[in-house]
Structure 1
Amino acid sequence: MAEPGKKTDRRIVRSKSALRQALLELMGRKSFTSISITEIVELANYNRGTFYTHYETKEALLDEILSDLIGDLLRSFRAPYEKTEVFRIDELHARSVMLFDHIYRHASLYKMLFESDVLPSVREKMFVALKKISMDEFEYQDNGIDRELQSAYSINALLGLVFHWIESGFKHSPAYMQEQLVKLVNWRPTTIKTVKKQP
């Protein structure tokens, strides 16, 4: 026979999961701002009391979904360097880059978020979380470049690539994106030929 605590825990997990799925399903149909808590609980087949047991607002429910998603994003970002003291960027292997695997694994969720009215918040949360890791976990040799500007530049470049991939409808495979990222990171041109257009 299961312990009472474990039974309750399973109930909590089940109700929270149903509420999350209901919110995401509704967000696939309409804007987040127009969704009511009543709609969420009716679709999840629970009552408002159950909702307020777990969340104060629908924003708190969305925040929990995004926190879990971004937590997994950060784990994938750390994958190439988490077991080493010195991260050799010039020896980075495409297969060790897990970021695109994470995005692709949650492709339907990212696609829905990118088509929703919460997109600015999602972008900001992703940027802030990755920039914090970059600032906290990387130590560069002094190169005269402002540390925060360097972090902002590199994270914006990475997310620009990720966002373009999502917005393209995942035109390329995760493996292709991993290979391209490694090439971009190690690309150090000293000259670029300009193309002159004929008048």
Structure 2
Amino acid sequence: MAQDRRITKTKTAIREAFFSIIKDNKSSKITVTEIANRANIDRKTFYLHYDSPEAIKDEFYKSLINDFLLILEKNDFFDRSFDVLALFQSLNILAQRDIELYRHIAKMPSYASFWEEIKDISKSVVIESMSGAINVSKDELNMYAEFYSAGLISAYIKWLRNEVSLTETEVVNVLSTASYYGFQKLLPQK
């Protein structure tokens, strides 16, 4: 059943207000009053649609995770062995919708659970794609996948935060090389 356009418009205004406050504000604490004022609604109208500002964030997380999975699927990410370039490209397709917002939330500790969820998705893909290809115990594979995925997502966050002066392609090349060779590639050959 289609949602009433007024409801859709109000919820959109609330979400846009919430995210504009995030971009303007360094604090992770956002009040209902701030959102209502920015959305040009009263508090009562806010509470007709959301229980709290955290409910907006939860809805945002769920939407992003679903969108990310769809992007990965569209890029046939799940049908091939783990590909650093495909992961970065998928993350960038998602982030380019509002790169300023993603750069900002990459800097906010209150959004760590979002990045943890992205890491867990990457980790499950690594485990799935490698489980038949290598002969290690389930626990060992789990540790390799955790190390690999955590490093990739951490590097992506550093790139999003502009903490490195490398291009997307350069970051992908470094991470691809590090994934396959570790530090061995950087050490002088004997």
With structure 2 as the length reference, what TM-score do the two structures score?
Answer: 0.74
Corresponding residue pairs, total:
182
Q: What is the RMSD of the two structures over their aligned residues, measured on CA atoms?
A: 3.2
Aligned to 1:118: 110
Contact 1:23–1:40 (Cα < 8 Å) also in 2: yes
Gap change, CA 1:190 and 1:184, over 3 Å in 2: closer
Unaligned runs of 5+ in 2: none
Q: The residue matched to 2:77 in structure 1 has which SS?
A: coil
Question: CA shift at 1:118, angstroms?
Answer: 1.3
Q: The residue matched to 1:32 in structure 2 has which SS?
A: coil
Q: Distance in 1 between matches of 2:23 and 2:183?
A: 43
Aligned to 1:197: none
Out of 28, 34, 43, the residue aligned to residue 32 of structure 1 is 28
| Bigger helix fraction | 2
Letter of the structure 1 residue corresponding to residue 181 of structure 2? W
Q: Distance in 2 between matches of 1:113 and 1:191?
A: 33
Contact 1:72–1:102 (Cα < 8 Å) also in 2: no
Q: Are 1:147 and 2:138 matched, yes or no?
A: no
Runs of at least 4 residues off by over 6 Å = none
What is the identity percentage for the equivalent residue pairs of Structure 1 and Structure 2?
21
Q: Distance in 2 between matches of 1:116 and 1:190?
A: 34
Contact 2:28–2:110 (Cα < 8 Å) also in 1: yes
Out of 154, 163, 185, the residue aligned to residue 160 of structure 1 is 154
Contact 1:26–1:40 (Cα < 8 Å) also in 2: yes
Q: Are 1:102 and 2:93 matched, yes or no?
A: yes
Q: Distance in 1 between matches of 2:106 and 2:115?
A: 9
Letter of the structure 1 residue corresponding to residue 20 of structure 2? E
Q: Distance in 2 between matches of 1:70 and 1:9?
A: 25
Out of 176, 181, 185, the residue aligned to residue 187 of structure 1 is 181
Q: Distance in 2 between matches of 1:93 and 1:39?
A: 40
Q: Distance in 1 between matches of 2:81 and 2:126?
A: 15
Q: Distance in 2 between matches of 1:131 and 1:10?
A: 39
Contact 2:23–2:104 (Cα < 8 Å) also in 1: yes
Q: Distance in 2 between matches of 1:193 and 1:171?
A: 23
Unaligned runs of 5+ in 1: 195-199
